[in-house]
Amino acid sequence: MAIWVETERTGGLSRQLRSSMAYVLLIVSIIPILVGYAWLLIATFSYRTEGLLPKDAEGHVGGWTLANWAFVTDPLIWRVTLNSLLIALAMVVGVGLASSLAGYALSRMNFVGRRGFLSMTLILHAFPSVTLLISIFFVLQAISALPGFGNIFGYNTVGGVALVMVSLDLPLGIWLMKGFFDNISWDMERAALIDGASRFRVWWEIIMPQIRPGLAALAIFTFLTGWSAYLIPATFTIGTKVSNLPVYINYLMSETSPTNWNQIAAVGLFQMIPILVFFFFTQEKLLNIYSGGTKGGV
């Protein structure tokens, strides 16, 4: 008995040591990131910075200012923010809807070309989008030529950018959703079919509620992709009128005059605010994504 207690104690001690080691390691590794965020926050409210210290024009510590945030009075910033939001939302809806339908079909139905389609999606996902820019340009040009449709989804439109972004994100979405559907038991679906539901009702009323956590994860990731997209919007929109926030930031870095980094920091922080707010409110849900699933049920 005594021996047992002793080993228990030393076991506890070494476990404590190990977990504190882990904490130290984690803290050390996130220090650079924390410093980065600290700089971002300080820089946006200061005239200029030296390291993490805000400096005024004479080089003394101080010089707090709101001048960097003057851009919020510019109507242009609200226009590009709206565009960012539109692209992100279009992606959430487009990728969410298309991948849940396609993922369901790929998971549950047997049709000609299913295998080919699956491997094609995987290959497409492996393609870096940079290599496709030129060909996508031609596709968008062709879409622009269509009457009516071209004005919404053509070249140099928010719709066009959203369309390209959605299609580039679909392979990942489809594979993710297929995986979620694969985890739902066939019996539940068969039960619903026998209960009298149509295939569509089975999908909507029985299966979709089961994969809600997965769908939420996909929505969050696509929203973030859309919100911070740079390459596609920068390539397929000329001028900032129809472009989004990241492109706007790039536009602030003029080639002829010196760049005001503190202003760029302010726009960067501005872009982060919605995400921070979002994370603040959905933190618990986000953590649930991986432990949730259908465990509560059958």
Partner 1 sequence: MRVELRNLCKRWGNVVGVDNISLEIKDSEFVALLGPSGCGKTTTLLMIAGIYKPTSGEILFDGRIVNHIPPKDRNIGMVFQSYALYPHMTVFENMAYPLKLQKVPKDEQRRRVQHVADMMGIGHLLDRKPGQLSGGQQQRVALGRALVKDPELLLFDEPLSNLDARLRLTMRGEIKRRQMELGITSIYVTHDQVEAMTMADRIAVIKDGKLQAYDTPDELYERPRTLFIAGFIGNPPMNLINGVEVVRDGEEYLARHQAFCLRVPAERGKHVAAKGEVILGIRPEDISLADDGQDGMRGEVYVVEPLGRDDLVNVELPGNTFIHFLADPALRLKPGTPVALCFNTEKVQFFDPRTERSLLWH
Q: Which residues bind partner 1 (CB under 8 A)?
A: 185, 187-188, 190-198, 201, 206, 209-210, 294-298
Considering beta carbons, is residue 114 or 190 the nearer one to partner 1?
Answer: 190
Considering beta carbons, is residue 79 or 201 the nearer one to partner 1?
Answer: 201
Considering beta carbons, is residue 193 or 220 the nearer one to partner 1?
Answer: 193
| Residue in 30, 31, 46 with CA at minimum distance from that of residue 265 | 46
CA distance 267 to 260: 11
- Tell me the closest approach of the beta carbon of residue 283 to partner 1, in angstroms: 23
- Tell me the closest approach of the beta carbon of residue 288 to partner 1, in angstroms: 15
Considering beta carbons, is residue 19 or 185 the nearer one to partner 1?
Answer: 185
CA distance 210 to 252: 45
Q: To which residue do tokens 């302010």 refer?
A: 266
Q: First CA to last CA across the chain, in angstroms? A: 42
- Tell me the closest approach of the beta carbon of residue 198 to partner 1, in angstroms: 8
- Tell me the closest approach of the beta carbon of residue 293 to partner 1, in angstroms: 10
28, 36 contact by CB (below 8 A): no
- Tell me the closest approach of the beta carbon of residue 298 to partner 1, in angstroms: 5
Segments of the chain assigned E as strands: 48-50, 53-55
Considering beta carbons, is residue 198 or 283 the nearer one to partner 1?
Answer: 198
Residue 79: exposure state from Cβ atoms within 10 A (0-12, 13-18, ≥19): middle
